[in-house]
Amino acid sequence: MTKSDYRQLRLLSLLFFKNELVSKVDAADYLEINKLTLNKDIASINNLFSKDVLEIQVFKNKWIILSRNRQTNFALITANMIYTSQAFRIALSTLNDAKETPTSFANKEFISTSLVYNKLEELDNLLAEHRLILNKTPIEFLGNELYIRFFLFSYFRQSLSLFWLAF
């Protein structure tokens, strides 16, 4: 999971388990970000989920609260965040040996090329922690085959185990 995806998941966790109004200032301080980034994260999360599943509601531009369906549990939220993240989709394309370029991946996923490059940079930092390198043209993981397999196994296991916990 990339840092921005993890940060958004932390925001959801804060709101999910607090289950009350939280000031934007407190949420931004908790996440160690500014209010502009917080607003972008809120918009991103609200675009990711349908309103009948969950929505971060904003009151008077100062307070936020998570409105959710009572059947929506945190494991489901986490699995959905991972599965729909662009970093996950990139990793999946490398596993399928798609040999995508950032431009072709952006066109296939209907997102901007700049967003792909941002996610590739975050994914590259994550891969570096596993002693791996991200080649961007075509998008592929380089390094020790065992490290690549372990990274992919743990990355996909994390998302799938959380997905099955939700049901």
What pLDDT, in 10s, does the model give residues 112-148?
Answer: 999 899 889 988 988 898 999 999 999 999 999 999 9
In the chain, domain spans: 3-71, 75-165
β partners of residue 142: 133
pLDDT averaged over the chain? 88
What pLDDT, in 10s, does the model give residues 34-76?
Answer: 999 999 999 999 998 889 889 999 999 999 999 998 888 887 7
The pLDDT, as a whole number, for residue 161 is 56
The pLDDT, as a whole number, for residue 160 is 64
Q: Which two tokens stand for residue 28?
A: 């931004």
State the fold for domain 75-165: Arc Repressor Mutant, subunit A (1.10.10)
Same topology for domains 3-71 and 75-165, yes or no? Answer: yes
Scan for tokens 């792909």, then name that residue.
116
CB 108 within 8 A of CB 138: no
Question: What is the rounded distance in angstroms from the CA atom of residue 39 to the CA atom of residue 33?
Answer: 10
Total-model pTM = 0.75
Q: What are phi and psi of 142, to 5 degrees?
A: -120, 145
Q: Which of 2, 23, 25 is nearest to 119 (CA)?
A: 2
Our CA dihedral for 86, 91, 93, 98, rounded to 10 degrees, sits at 130
The pLDDT, as a whole number, for residue 159 is 64
Share of the chain above pLDDT 70, in %: 93
Terminal Cα distance for the chain, rounded:
22
State the fold for domain 3-71: Arc Repressor Mutant, subunit A (1.10.10)
Residue-wise DSSP of the chain: --HHHHHHHHHHHHHHHH-S-EEHHHHHHHHT--HHHHHHHHHHHHHHS-TTTEEEEEETTTEEEEEE-TT--HHHHHHHHHHHSHHHHHHHHHHTT----HHHHHHHHT--HHHHHHHHHHHHHHHHTTT-EEEETTEEEES-HHHHHHHHHHHHHHHHHHHHHT-
